[in-house]
Each structure stands twice: as structure tokens, then as C-alpha cells.
Structure 1
């Protein structure tokens, strides 16, 4: 395995682990902790997801660079592109809608759960599947 392919594989699985741990473990559990109110949970969530997205952007750039450098099979290039595109959609289209809702809640207003939350979770599921498939494809080269 070339160094570029090894890097792409490692980055893929690190990214997969981060998204799984934060989006599917930390995010729902924080609201079950004693004393964590909705405003506190939203405040924590904003900080955590901002940090996650910065880390994800970094990993996406490294993954794209490593994949383009290694030029693996087309299937690996295609599957590696999917989580990068999803991340951009989440940051540009979905997170701003979530931020507007959390701004209202943090300001003390009552705001119904946003459909954007369901979009974000759905995109996270697709991203996790794409990262898993990408990692497997990269390992089999």
C-alpha cells in the first residue's frame, strides 16, 4: 500500500470514528445528563459540532489530497467524494438553519424542533455509511 493510500485509509477511519462518537453517542446522551437543560445542551452542542466540523474539514482536505495523489480505483474516488460533499451541504445549508433555531431557544423563545435536525441526522447516517465503504474499498486495494 502506498503512503498516500495508507494516509487516506487512516483518515477515513479516524473521520468515521469521530462522527460516530460525537453524532451518535455524545449528542443524544448529553441531554440525558442530570441538570442539562435544553439551552445548556444546545450551547454545548454548538461548541462540539463547530469543533467537529473544523476537524472534519481538515480530514476532508487530507482525504481528498491523499486520494487524488494515490489515484485508486474509481469506486474509491467516488465513495471518498460522498462524505466530503455531505459535509459541505451540512455546513453550508443545514447548520445555519439549526443555528437560527438554537439562537431562538438560547434567547428564551419557544421554538419547535427544526426539520433541519432530521436532515442533519440523515446526512450523518449517509456520511457514516460512505466513510465505512470508502475505508473498506481503500483497504482492499
Structure 2
């Protein structure tokens, strides 16, 4: 990749990675341990935070795609960019709507068992973290 595109792709990738790690793997689980945070309050906060995170992720993915497309990328960079974007798209298209429907029901007062959709989200999020690490390193060293 040319130097400018590689620097942009690396920076955007590591900002995206940092946001995912901070929100999904630190903030989300810890908020439910805070004193006075009930499940409905935690869900309400989580929906706002994840909506903002996902919008930011989509914007970062677009910037990343443009940087990669204009930078004479290697095949590895192209594949890792596509994998990262596709994982985000899968979360937004398939898992988030299911989680939103479930949280609507919980916020309406229904008592529901634990959700397996969260496990899918975490699995996709973990795969995305690995893809972003690989992409960031590859973009900066290719």
C-alpha cells in the first residue's frame, strides 16, 4: 500500500479496534455490576451506547474501505478489510435486530430467559477484533 493510505487504514483500524474493545468488552459487562443499575436501566444505556458505537463503526468502515481502495492494497489487506466490514454488517443486519426486539420485551416488563443472541454478538465481536488486529498490522507492514 502507499504510505498515506496505509497510515490512514492503520489509524482508522486501530481506532475502530479500541472502540470495540472499550465498549463491548469493558463497558458493557461492567455497567451491570454498578450499584443501582437494574436490568432495564442497563439495557436502556446499552441500546444507546451500542447504537452510537455501531454508527461510528459504520463510518469508520467506510473511511477504511476508501483508504484501502485508493491505496494499492495487498490481497491480504483487501480480504481483511472485507472480513471486518462483513462481520460488522452481520452484526447489524442479523443480530442487533434480534437483540433490540428482546430488549423491547424486557423493557416492557416481560421476564425472559438469557438470550443466545448475545452469544452470537460476542462471537462476531471477537472475530471482528481478531480481524481488525490482523488488518491493522498488515496495513502498516505491507
| In structure 1, C-alpha distance between the alignment counterparts of 2:22 and 2:90, rounded to whole Å | 21
The aligned residue for residue 73 of structure 2 is 72
- CA distance in 1 between counterparts of 2:6 and 2:68 reads 7
Per-residue deviation, 1:72: 1.4
Give the structure 2 partner of residue 2 of structure 1.
Answer: 3
- Within 5 Å, which residues of 2 pair with 1:95-110? 95-110=96-111
CA RMSD after TM alignment: 0.8
- 1:31·1:41 contact (CA, 8 Å) conserved in 2? yes
- Counterpart CA distance in 1 for 2:95 and 2:41 is 21
Cross-structure match for 1:117: 118
SS of the residue aligned with 2:35? coil
Structure with more contact order per residue of length (Cα contacts < 8 Å, sep ≥ 6): 2
The SS at the match of 2:36 is coil
Stretches of structure 1 that go unaligned for 5 or more consecutive residues are none
What residue is the counterpart of 1:84 in the other structure?
Answer: 85
In structure 1, the residue matched to 2:64 is 63
TM-score (norm 1): 0.98
CA distance in 2, matches of 1:81, 1:88: 10
TM-score by length of 2: 0.97
Q: Tell me, in whole angstroms, the C-alpha distance in 2 between the residues paired with 1:106 and 1:65.
A: 39
The answer on whether the counterparts of 1:71 and 1:77 sit within 8 Å (CA) in structure 2 is: no
Of 59-68 and 106-115, deviating more is: 106-115
Aligned pairs (5 A) from 1:13-32: 13-32=14-33
Please state how far the C-alpha of 1:126 moved relative to its aligned partner.
0.1
CA distance in 1, matches of 2:31, 2:94: 25
In structure 2, stretches of 5+ residues that fail to align are: none
Q: How many residues align?
A: 141
* Runs (4+) off by over 3 Å: none
